[in-house]
Amino acid sequence: MKNLFTLVFALYFFPAFAQNVTKIKQLNGQSISAEVLQKRITHLVDSAKIAGLQVAIVNHNKTVWTSSFGCKDMENQMPLNDSTVMYAASLTKPVSAYLFLRLVDRGIFKLDQPIRSYLKKPIGQYPKWKDLAEDTISFNRITPRMLLAHSSGLPVLRQLYGNKTNLIAKPGEKFYYSNEGINLLGFMVEEYTGKTLEVIAKEEVFGSLQMQRTSMVWEKSFENNFSYAYFKDGKKYGSERRQSSRAAGSMTTTATDYARFYIQLMTGKGLRKASLQQMLAPQIAVTSKRGFGSLKDSLTHENDAMQLAWGLGIGLFQSPYGKGFFHTGHGEANQNYAVAFPEKGIAVVLLSNSENFERVSAQIVKACIGDTYSPFKWLGHLDD
């Protein structure tokens, strides 16, 4: 009776509880056996020398299969498992967008109101953002929508621009992926609400979704099961332990937990219908040859057919199976990818602790759900 009660409790309170089915449905309607998939991913992980990998697959809007490969600690050969916390890197951004939209739904913020109206001081009086005061007219046009859609004109990282945050484009005119822009949004939210992002995230996302191994900052409880990260040559990078929350990339999570969040987006829960539609609607077309690096300014028509675009905090594309939404997470050594096809109820979340993941990410995603439509070339994961 006690075991029956435990099972009922888990199924009721943990709707994304992994079933670990024997057959996993792929986008084309065919299925792959869990045993075959386990062998395929093991081969890819081993051949690419990926230190460790977590996988969570969603079918019918439920997590149906999870598995972990490799090690969380290579030196001591400690195996990675489904509860091992991993650095999410930029997979933080969709969560930050979602929690911001929940605040919009409550009337605390407006997507198209200039961010200057939410700040307590002129932008030039904040040491971290003082460079933006050099073009006040342009800065005053920046809205939360632009920050979330990466169309504000802020650079990706100030370190790449002489530690400056001057605008590199006019607000609203062009897609430029920007950590600085998302972090500015997070700064604005924290100052205006008087709460830290980690508190808001627990209130708005992690608590209600039972994401018990997820936080915007490092928590003491993570010490019992965490992963180190490793460079291409196998040398240890260490583990990311962010002490302050950043909207662009401070989160720690597991693939199973993050799948709960993706299911929330896939099923349209947690946001008003209009807000979810805006989040998953193209806000700006992506016409660059690459998302990052020197080719970010090179225009191309390569991605026109897939209608590559950015929504609010998340990437979008079209496929024969309907709309896909995606995001990467790229740290110093941690590399992650998550993609969902809401019309099919199918998604996969991949978290790695290895700099070797991205070169085989497309193969792993294809093996998991049969996805050959994710924009891996634009992301720089595929060779020209």
For residue range 248-281, what is the model confidence (pLDDT) as tens digits? 999 999 999 999 999 999 999 999 999 999 999 9
Q: CB of 291 within 8 A of CB of 380?
A: yes
288-314 in b/e form (b: 16+ CB < 10 A) is: bbbbbeeebeeeeeebeebebbbbbbb
Residue whose pair of structure tokens reads 């992002």 in the numeric block: 197
Distance, CA of 194 to CA of 211 (rounded, Å): 24
What residues contact 349, with CB distance under 8 A and at least 6 apart? 54, 55, 56, 58, 255, 258, 259, 262, 336, 338
Q: What is the CATH number of domain 15-70+84-379?
A: 3.40.710.10
358-382: per-residue pLDDT in tens? 999 999 999 999 999 999 999 999 8
Using CB atoms within 10 A of its CB, is residue 35 exposed (0-12), middle (13-18) or buried (19+)? exposed
DSSP strand pairing (31-33 vs 23-25): antiparallel
For position 146, what pLDDT does the model report?
A: 98
pLDDT of residue 11: 39
pLDDT at 18: 54
Q: H-helix or E-strand containing 11?
A: helix 2-13
Residue 384 is predicted with a pLDDT of: 58
Domain edges within the chain: 15-70+84-379
pLDDT of residue 224: 96
Q: Which stretches in the chain have pLDDT values below 50?
A: 1-17
List, for residues 172-219, the tens digit of each pLDDT value. Answer: 999 999 999 999 999 999 999 999 999 999 999 999 999 999 999 999
